[in-house]
Structure 1
Amino acid sequence: MPTREQLLETAKRYVDAHNSRNVEAIRACCSPSSTHRGGPSSVNGPDRTRDEYVAFNADVFKMLHSYHAELTDAIVDPETRKVAMFLHAKATADAGEYENEYIITVTMTEDGKLVQDQYDFIDSHTMLQWIQKVGQFAQETWEKK
């Protein structure tokens, strides 16, 4: 059974990979059969395989100038190999500033070194407002051409 420290180290490496916006580092943190899910249901996020999740992040990172998620707290359960992370994220993009809070749970592989399952729970109101802002920015930019 992996130790609490091993699980927390893997979770932090996963957050760091996102903060560096390095899709290959994200891929390296996930098992080939990993599943990535998003919630709450109001966000309507699809389940994604590892490759789909990596591709999704690659697309998101293209529109961001900066991104940083700060791990503010974590609950680690070595018995279930699960880490619940509380994060505060900030980003900048052409559409403006982004700030949101997430609770991400990751379940690790048997050795505790890779993410096997991820569930993101985000502040959906803030996320939907951001998506609307990005859409409005895109429309206004398109109309200026």
Structure 2
Amino acid sequence: MAPTQQRQTADAVIDAFNRMDTEAVVSYRDPSCLRHFHPTSLGYSPQDNAAYLKNINSFKTIFQNFRLEVTDVIEDVPNRKICMWLLAKADTLAGEYNNEYVWNMEFNESGEKIVGWKEFVDIGMVRDFLPKLRKEMEKVKEKQAQVGEGASI
């Protein structure tokens, strides 16, 4: 049985992430699509396409060798939904990045655009790894600022 259009769209998003083609990732989202982070205790605001693109563009400078692996998929064709369990890996200045996501995506009638996105993230990674990564990124910014100051002399 051939995959549904919505499954093809979801798979295309994964492929675009693995190529770090952020424009392609966003191209599969409807203009009205919002990304909601969960658990809500994280306090992250929903992201429209512009905010989402800015967020995933930051991955390009943070992550090397970023890869998503789909470990499970549940598809609800009548209600135009797909839920994917993903493992993410990448190399960073703070060491190896390992994360788990659950993406709950809702699609338009054609299945070509994502109209709703709920993203569950690994709270342990957010709590333990992100502060280390932010610290390393600050060091990089400081070095870049020092180089910039030296160049203007």
TM-score w.r.t. the length of structure 1 is 0.89
Identity %: 26
Which structure shows the bigger proportion of residues in strand conformation?
A: 1
Alignment of 1:123-138 (within 5 A): 123-138=122-137
Query: What letter is aligned with 2:59?
Result: V
Confirm whether residue 39 of structure 1 aligns to residue 44 of structure 2: no
- Residue 71 of structure 1 deviates from its aligned partner by 0.5
Give 2:149's aligned residue.
none
In 1: Cα distance, 2:32 partner to 2:137 partner: 35
Which structure's relative contact order is higher, taking Cα pairs within 8 Å and 6+ residues apart?
A: 1
Give 1 or 2 for the bigger CA radius of gyration: 2
Q: CA RMSD in A?
A: 1.9
Contact persistence 2:70–2:85 (CA under 8 A): yes
Give 2:87's aligned residue.
88
Give 1:25's aligned residue.
24
Confirm whether residue 8 of structure 1 aligns to residue 7 of structure 2: yes
Matched residue SS, 1:30: coil
Give 2:114's aligned residue.
115
In 1: Cα distance, 2:102 partner to 2:113 partner: 18
In 2: Cα distance, 1:17 partner to 1:81 partner: 21
Matched residue SS, 1:70: strand
Give 1:69's aligned residue.
68
Q: Deviations over 1:96-128 (max 9, x none)?
A: 110011110110111101111111101111122
Contact persistence 1:36–1:53 (CA under 8 A): yes
**Uncovered stretches (5+) of structure 2, i.e. residues with no partner:** 147-153
TM-score w.r.t. the length of structure 2 is 0.84
Contact persistence 1:71–1:88 (CA under 8 A): yes
- Residue 4 of structure 1 deviates from its aligned partner by 6.0
In 1: Cα distance, 2:46 partner to 2:39 partner: 12
In 2: Cα distance, 1:38 partner to 1:139 partner: 24
**Uncovered stretches (5+) of structure 1, i.e. residues with no partner:** none
